[in-house]
Structure 1
Amino acid sequence: MNWKDIPGLDGVESPGLLIDADAVQQNIDRMIEIVGGPDHVDRLFPHVKTHKIPEITRMQVDAGITKFKAATLSEAQMAATAGAREVLIAHQLVGPKVDRLATLIDDFPNTQFAVLVDDPHAADAINQKCGDAENPLDAYIDIDCGMHRTGILLGNPSDALRAHLDSLSGLRYAGLHVYDGHLHDPDLQVRTEKVKEILGKVARHEQQHPSPRVIVGGSPTFGIWAAETSWHCSPGTTLLWDFGYGNAHPDLPMTVAAALISRVISKPGEGKICIDLGHKSISAEMPLEKRFQFPDLPDAQPIGQSEEHLVLQTPNAASLHVGDIVIAIPRHICPTVALHSHATVVRGGRVTGERWRVTARDR
């Protein structure tokens, strides 16, 4: 789809987030195909951190997906509001967040919440404030499989924590959480070999110490885990996709379902334009030249970006006028979405007038 030619775009304020609802549905359908089709949809445990939008969660629920991961309590609440049957908060809760979880559990009795732990003290605090002997809270053990960000090693450390969980009346050991966020090799064979190395370790451990569930992977390794195991898979970026993952992982058949609308606000010199796409509207974590793609200005080179401005050098500058629309595709969609209060919905190739609130952008 050529985003710039969408009817109704002239009435959309910039900078703004655009979401193609039809493309989101296609991506949901492809996620289901990857895990084996509708009969195996229960394997999906997608993350909501990319979109943070209840309407997109409901689209997944309508497709038979009922289990979700969340990084924040606001995301967990959004998922519960949208009809999630289960929500795993995949971020070890500490401090006042534990009290908020207790409130969330009371407010949404039809949603089964679960927590992620890698420390017995954190488990104790959650057990004290959220545990219920008659209805224990599910707790997954976070395994460090190579990312070295959170989690503990599989083996004696994880076995000891499992024994500790078994000693707590208000928590129930639910399984292992194995996130391989460090695996993003463009070469599918290399990525596959690295996944199989982790898979072998987990499978051997599971033979000796079976778990109720194993939740594995992220978006780059989604297809590999789905093909090689019967475990639960946890993609997230697959819902909206971006050019970063699209370029690096063409083996995943996802469609870019989100873009940014911006406009020319000044022409500061020959061969230059300034658009209203500052780093308050697109993720700025990458080097400047890697943050965006411009489908209609493929030769544009960024010169400088500030809070509300982006200056581009482009051979097409003379043909552009102040007020003209410039479409950008972000390299990393997840933090970009969090910069916007709402998304303008495109459906059937046109602006519909719908606006989806990014309700879980708050923490």
Structure 2
Amino acid sequence: MSNMAADWYLIDEVEQLDSPALVFYQERITANIEKLKQHIPAINRLRPHVKTHKTVEITQQLLAAGITKFKCATIAEAEMLGLCKAPDVLLAYQPVGPKIDRFIQLIKTYPDTVFSCLIDNESSLKEIAHAATVSGVVIPVFLDLNVGMNRTGILPDEHALALYETAAAEKGVEILGLHAYDGHIHDADYALREKQAAVILASIDKLTRQLVRKGMAEPVIIAGGTPTFPIYAKLDSIECSPGTFVLWDKGYQDAFAEQDYLTAALVITRVISLTSATKITVDLGHKAVAAENLLKKRVHFLNAPTAEAVSQSEEHLVLELGSGHGFRIGDILYGLPVHICPTVALYGSANIINNHKLTEGWKIISRERKINI
């Protein structure tokens, strides 16, 4: 085995792995967690999102690193955090229908964890508050602001101010602060991201000043994901919620050069057919790598960097390699996903690699819609 840095991904006895397979590289995950901590002045301002890895084991590593606050998007992810006794968990979602009762069940089942959720309208606020009162609990909530994502949230204007005041007076809930997710900001140009974030920060600051003038406590502010993390990390008033950092991917590696995380998750695939003199087919279909991007922007092969996707179906990916590529039936390709979060969700477990060796398997426990609750 070569010791070249380019060969970090090679796995001893890789032939034992059936394909397609998801693999996590433990030493690179450890390095990424340390890098995250170095990139923010105070660890108590970190609230990483668990949607990327969805595992108990990585959650435990984050807890061991001193991180106590987390963000998640599903009841299953919240329950995974409860199982790990994470102290502070924000469900970055507004529960509706049966989710409200499930959320209250979580609060009662996992008393070591303080669970909070989002609200963006008075109807949901009233429904959540009523269910909490009936159940004898008080639910911490954050006002979800629409700062440009245009999917959920209330615009940070006088209506947001009024809803915050209503929530502050409501029994069954305790409003803690503001949540602003800016996933629409993903320009490669860091200066452009700074400029866009400044507009968001100004609107949050204005709303914050209005709340304080009305005699309310200074709101906790949770803002951003990975693209704006370096911007918000500099500001003492903001809790930051990167998620992709822990595994990283080709998309963010290419787009955000200022963030030096290591790619720590790959998909392993095999050549199953020599399609033509210049093409091969591998067993990496839609079900094995996130397919929401354009065909040519779904996966990059570390040991076949010039391979270009020609077509993909549920179980197959056809690659153009040119003549004389040298690949044979059964050969392994190491694929770096462009978007790792939905790729992880396609697998029931991840194979763990440590120092080139396959050591164990971790269940992707919260890919399920339901664990117990």
Q: Same fold (TM over 0.5)?
A: yes
Counterpart secondary structure, 2:361: strand
Deviation of 1:317 (Å): 5.9
Counterpart secondary structure, 2:268: strand
Counterpart secondary structure, 1:141: strand
What TM-score does the superposition give when structure 1 sets the normalisation length?
0.95
Q: 2 CA distance for matches of 1:317 and 1:14?
A: 24
Counterpart secondary structure, 1:280: coil
Residues 1:361 and 2:367 are matched in the alignment = yes
Q: 1 CA distance for matches of 2:325 and 2:158?
A: 66
Equivalent in the alignment of 2:286? 279
Q: 2 CA distance for matches of 1:288 and 1:217?
A: 28
Q: CA RMSD in A?
A: 1.5
Task: Write the mapping of 1:344-355 to structure 2, written as runs, cut at 5 A.
Answer: 344-352=351-359, 354-355=360-361
Equivalent in the alignment of 2:145? 143
Q: 1 CA distance for matches of 2:208 and 2:150?
A: 21
Task: Write the mapping of 1:95-174 to structure 2, written as runs, cut at 5 A.
Answer: 95-131=97-133, 136-174=138-176
Counterpart secondary structure, 1:228: coil
**Contact 2:161-2:207 within 8 A present in 1 as well:** no
Equivalent in the alignment of 2:18? 13
Cα pair distance change 1:132/1:234, threshold 3 Å: farther
Counterpart secondary structure, 1:193: helix
Q: 1 CA distance for matches of 2:323 and 2:79?
A: 46
Deviation of 1:7 (Å): 1.2
Equivalent in the alignment of 2:33? 28
**Contact 2:21-2:351 within 8 A present in 1 as well:** yes
Counterpart secondary structure, 2:275: strand
The structure 2 residue matched to 1:200, chosen from 199, 202, 210, is: 202
Q: 2 CA distance for matches of 1:307 and 1:328?
A: 17
Q: 1 CA distance for matches of 2:25 and 2:266?
A: 9
The structure 1 residue matched to 2:341, chosen from 326, 334, 341, is: 334
Residue identity in the other structure for 1:16: A
Deviation of 1:349 (Å): 2.9
**Contact 1:48-1:69 within 8 A present in 2 as well:** yes
Equivalent in the alignment of 1:308? 315
Residue identity in the other structure for 2:336: I
Please, which runs of 5 or more residues in structure 1 have no aligned partner? Answer: none
Q: 2 CA distance for matches of 1:130 and 1:327?
A: 49
Residue identity in the other structure for 1:30: K
**Contact 1:132-1:169 within 8 A present in 2 as well:** no
Q: 1 CA distance for matches of 2:61 and 2:324?
A: 41
**Contact 2:85-2:110 within 8 A present in 1 as well:** no
Residue identity in the other structure for 1:282: V
Counterpart secondary structure, 1:5: coil
Equivalent in the alignment of 1:66? 68
The range that moved more, 181-190 or 128-137, is 128-137
Deviation of 1:100 (Å): 0.8
Q: 1 CA distance for matches of 2:238 and 2:54?
A: 25
Q: 2 CA distance for matches of 1:318 and 1:237?
A: 33
Counterpart secondary structure, 2:237: coil
Q: Percent identity?
A: 40
**Contact 2:52-2:243 within 8 A present in 1 as well:** yes
Deviation of 1:5 (Å): 2.5
Equivalent in the alignment of 1:257? 264
**Residues 129-161 of structure 1, C-alpha deviation per residue, up to 9 Å, x if partnerless?**
234797521100000111111100113111111
Deviation of 1:24 (Å): 1.0
Residues 1:94 and 2:96 are matched in the alignment = yes
